[in-house]
Structure formats: structure tokens, C-alpha cells
A and B are shown apart, each in its own frame.
Chain A
Amino acid sequence: MNKALTIGGMAAAAFVITGWSVGFSQDRPSVPPPEGSPLGELISGYEFRTPETQALQDDDFINPGFLWVENGEELWETADGAAGKSCESCHGDAEDSMNGVGARYPVYSEATGKPINLEQRINLCRTENMQAEPWRWESPELLGMMTFVRYQSRGVPVAVEIDGPMQPFFEAGREFYYQRRGQLDMSCASCHEANYGMSLRADMLSQGHSNGFPTYRLKWQGVGSLHRRFRGCNQQVRADRFGYGSDEYINLELYLAWRGMGLPVETPAVRQ
């Protein structure tokens, strides 16, 4: 029963993807995909994880991601920068003001003429509204605030705007997704579209959605951003990695959010 297949010319040497169960997803919760989706149904990465990992996510107390949520909550109330303001000074209670916000990013920015994601939006508030230094990517502060703000949308379905001025960026994201790259000559789709439900080394491949980010990863022993995950997935196939917050990854983030339209935000998710 152990069907083994290899994908991509050179991949044979490095990766063997094995599948146990045909029709893997039949008994798993899923949501219908957006119009034009290449996926028949959308399944959260949660459903592909072991019961032990799922249990860590299910209980807010033992979910270590909440350490980042609490850190963000503290920062929310702390004044910083020359303007002497905190996030709370302008946005009040995050439970109200940030509810649903994290579910609809990236959004189009008139100021820059391109999409911005939530990390960039938060840092814009720091530089423009607080006259504070922007937080570094993957710093405890930015990860804490990201996790806190996205957590205010937990359970809210992902819903990004892809029309109008967003369209060319969405197309660029799609192109990136299907572009084969790296020494192993594989695209995102090679793993997350053609082979989800199959085992790759010790992992079971999911559809590669972004609804749980920032995510606590057992491997990282901490919370990391979506762009960190992109860099890891690029590196796995020995392809060039792009910079945190690069146009390439922002466009990819937009396209990926659309692939997962309707999946509830799970932040802070726990993954292996």
C-alpha cells in the first residue's frame, strides 16, 4: 500500500515523497475554495499535524505561542518614540480595533503604490505615528506584536482583496508560486498542491496555507513569521532565499492568502 513517488527530475536523489492513504482529506474539516482555485477544498495545516501537536494548539494555556501574544499585549500599552504614544493611545482596546484586521492583509497602500503586509503596517505606525524606530524582522518585539494583532482575528476567515490595483501583484505572486526553482527544480505547487497528504521525510505535506502565522514551530523552539517559513521552503529545494519583506515575498504572501481564502485565522498556530 505504500505508494512511493518522486517528483522533479533531480528531486529523486534528495526527496522521496510517500503516500499512505488515498483520499487523505475525505474525513478532515475543510472549507470550499475561492472561485478559480486550483484546490478542490481548503484544509488547514492543523489537520495534517499529529494529535500531540494539535493538543498544544488547542489549549491556550499550554500553547507556547501565547507567550508572544502576552509580550505583544504589553508592548501595545507601552509608549515609545518621540511622540510619546503607545498603540493604545490611538487604537484603544485591540480586541475591538484590531478584530478582523489581520485576516485581510496584505492590503494596497496608496502611498507606496503596492501591497503592504501586517509587519510593514505596524512598522509604519511606529515610524510615522510614534516617531519610533521600526522593529527588526523576527525581533521579539515585531513577532510579539504581530502575534498579538493577528490573534485578535482568530476564527475570522481570511479575506484578501485581489482586484483593481492589487491584480498585478497577485499575478506576480502566482507566478512565483508556480516557478520551479533551485537545484531540485521544484515549485511551491510541487509539494503543496500536487502532493499534500503525502509524507516527506518525517513531515506530512500540507497545502501550505498561511492562516496560522506567526506560528510557533517546535523546530524553531519559538514563533516565526511567514517570510521565515518562505525562506525555509526556498532553502529546502536549494533555491535562493529572498529578503524579509521583499516585494517577491509580499506578492507571494498575497497570492497565498488568496489560496487560503475562507480558512479561519489560527494565530498562534503550533506546527512541528
Chain B
Amino acid sequence: MAGVRPRVRVPKEAAKGEVVEIKTLISHQMESGQRRDSKGEIIPRQIINTFTCTFNGDEVFSADWHGAISANPYMQFFMTAEESGTFEFTWKDDDGSVYTETAELTVN
């Protein structure tokens, strides 16, 4: 889907062993498949069905989403920082589109 916009917020730096907070938000109408248009026809479902976050290639968080998730879904979770590296965030759309975002974390 066009015009989908991911946002990610993670700290740039952390001490070894520190618990860091990760926040993500993505613009998406999350069409539930339950609504009808003005002609009474069902509007086909189109949602983001999976969200994953990896750090240096290892999965740290993932979620399956279903029809009742609000538009513009927000996610907040935590990770213990052990080493410097790269977060990769992935959202998968029902239509096959994949939206990605990355962020760097330096552990000192």
C-alpha cells in the first residue's frame, strides 16, 4: 500500500545490561474486513498481519495482528542491551507489501 509511514524511537546509546525501551508506530488504515462501503458492499480486509523486530539478525519481538487492531498501530516493548548493533523492524501487509525501518544502538 502506498503512503505507509513507519516511525521508530530507540535510544542511541545504552550501558551494557541496561533495559532499553523501543517504540514503533506505523500509519495504516487497518481495514478490518467488517465494514461496508456506501453501496453496502463489504470493504475487503487489508491489515498489517505481522510485526517483527530483530537485533543483529536475532528476533527480539514479534506479533501477529488481527482485524480488531486500531488504525496506525503503536507498539512498545523492551530489550536488554548487551552489545552494539542494528535493529530491523518489519511490518507485513495483507497485500504482500513489506515496510521496514532500521535503527542503531551503541552499547558502552
Contact = CB atoms under 8 A, between A and B. Distances in A.
Contact of B29 (A70, A71, A221): A221
B25 A64 contact: yes
Interface in B1-26: 3, 5, 7, 9, 23, 25
A67 B23 contact: no
A62 B25 contact: yes
Contacts of A62: 23, 25, 74, 76
Interface size class of B (residues with CB under 8 A): 10 to 19
B27 interface: yes
Given A61-B23, A67-B25, A140 B3 contact: yes
Contacts of A140: 3
A67 B29 contact: no
A236 to B, nearest CB: 20
A221 B74 CA distance: 13
Contact of A64 (B3, B9, B72, B76): B72
Contacts of B5: 67, 70-71
Interface size class of A (residues with CB under 8 A): 10 to 19
B72 A221 contact: yes
Given A61-B23, A62-B23, A140-B3, A67 B9 contact: no
B70 A221 contact: yes
A157 interface: no
Q: Which among B7, B23, B30 has the greatest number of chain A C-beta atoms within 10 A? A: B7
A202 B71 CA distance: 21
B27 A67 contact: yes
Nearest to A61: B9
B19 to A, nearest CB: 18
Interface string B45-57: 0000000000000
A222 interface: yes
Interface of B: 3, 5, 7, 9, 23, 25, 27, 29-30, 70-72, 74, 76
Interface of A: 61-62, 64, 66-67, 70-71, 140, 218, 221-222
